[in-house]
Chains A and B, each alone.
Chain A
Amino acid sequence: MSDDIGLWGVPLAILGGAIRVSTPFIFVSIGECLTERSGRINLGLEGTLVFGAMSGYAVAYHTGSPWLGTLAAAFAGLLFGLLHGWICRLPRVNDIAIGIALMIFGTGLAFFFGKPYVQPVAPDLPAIPLGFWSSLPQVQAALNVNVLFLAGIVLAFATAWMLKNTRVGLTIRVAGDSADAARALGIDVNRVRLWSTAAGGALAGVGGAYLSLYYPGSWNEGISSGQGLMAVALVIFARWNPVNCLYASLLFGGAGALGPALQSVGVTSGYYLFYAAPYVLTLGLLVATSSRSRAMPSAPGELSIVK
């Protein structure tokens, strides 16, 4: 059988790319979704993602276990989330501005401590060869699925179920929709938001660990290309629904894979414009789904960006 599958390589590469590229989006967007459902926005997840990538890589390198690295990244993300949540509970502090500061701070700390880890090679997270049935190497490559991708799918449905059906989920939603109602129910709004932000940070850390430990699979200062920030926009597009976050992440992953996929079949002109595709897509979706006159449907009522 010929290995040359011609232009079929493009959709296949996009599918494979969507699976590979979308995983960090899935984790960050579900984390941000959780935070925003509690009524706060954390723009600092970009910094958390980069710091997660660095700390995950460093711990995996020292311990030899990529899973310990992922755990460390989640813990680091948790700390960043706690910092954001703790600062935001003070009066007159703007959660968006704090997010920007934490973006700079997290990125700076990651570059600061990450310098010695640019050269060494850490073990990768394992992948499951779901393309074993095909003899085509392109199909096998596209369906070589990382464990974290599958975990992300489970996480999306579990988070949606948790928000809808459990006491914790109801508490988060009440805190996000009306702080007054939450207080009337005896809920400590700040505490709910603190832990929702912390959980969101932990998930963003895992997303970062995926970047450095699987795809692209190394640590360097250009590891993130704004995934943490795009995920925030993606949550708006996904209408604060974790399952929609999953679908939106796949769409973004596919857009991100467009450039490399076309390059692989020899289309090189306008390469840099294809590189901009995910950002253009994000912006286009934001424009299409925002509205000037009415509050966005299903947006948490306490969210500063939709008020």
Chain B
Amino acid sequence: MSRSLRPLLATAVIFAIAYGLSVMQFPGMFSTRVLGNFLTDNAFLGITAVGMTFVILSGGIDLSVGAVIGFTGVLVAVLISWMGLHPLVAFAIALIVAAVFGGLMGLAIHALEVPSFIVTLAGMFLARGGASVITQDSVPINHPFYDWISDLLIRLPGGGRLSFIGLLMIAVFVVGALVAHRTRFGSYVYALGGNTVSASLMGVPVARTTVAVYMLSSVLAALAGIVFSLYTSAGYPLAAVGVELDAISAVVIGGTLLAGGYGFVLGTFIGVMLLGLVQTYIIFDGTLSSWWTKIVIGVLLFLFIVLQRLIFAASAPGEKVAEKA
């Protein structure tokens, strides 16, 4: 196991160093306020990234999550603002729609033996297109329930706020970690990422697991969409464009092997926080263009791919794994 722990450790160390350096430059960054905002601002990305972690661990990829976030936002906004449904009912509908959507993608990937890349790319266009057909504009949500949730927070000493959506993200990570590392389903996901043929010969329900993985990813993306609508109090069809790529980056930076089979949900959490840190730093600096975020993410991503390559190529008997990467 130590081999797969190494990238995780590297991420944690890099995060600690980067955070330490940032605090040295801007002491204001070491506060519960910043930490609380960290969680709130990245909640939707974090939740999405948990689903993405499962997909990547299973050896696949899900490009549709950003579009699902956008679609869910629009769907929820329309159901609440136009149809007058209670938000909880709207949430339930959105989650069910996403579950069906993800399940169908998983089914297509398994049954048609099509790469997940292509199927979820189609899913991405479908969801994004669907959202834009419903409405082209931003649909505001004004509902007492939304106000109530926004007020739901834990005040931390030092002026920080632990918002509901921040806590929700942490809950999703905890549950995600338990499912990935402590359940049979989790072991099946790793099995698929390790070797699909072996997995099926060992009796892993490949079809069911594949469907479940993409269903999970879409449901979590929809949950992220709900969180995003709570965060912005609106639904916009072009919301969260490119979030799938941020999520993939967070997963890989968090130490999960892009080829599948190795990684940790906790690593993804650190990955998301690292991305958040870069953004926060740039806000604190004030003079840097926000596009620097992308450059830093690009550098980090590249660094981690090289790191994984080195780690998995260095340990001799694992040659097969290295070949796959």
Q: Do they bind each other?
A: no
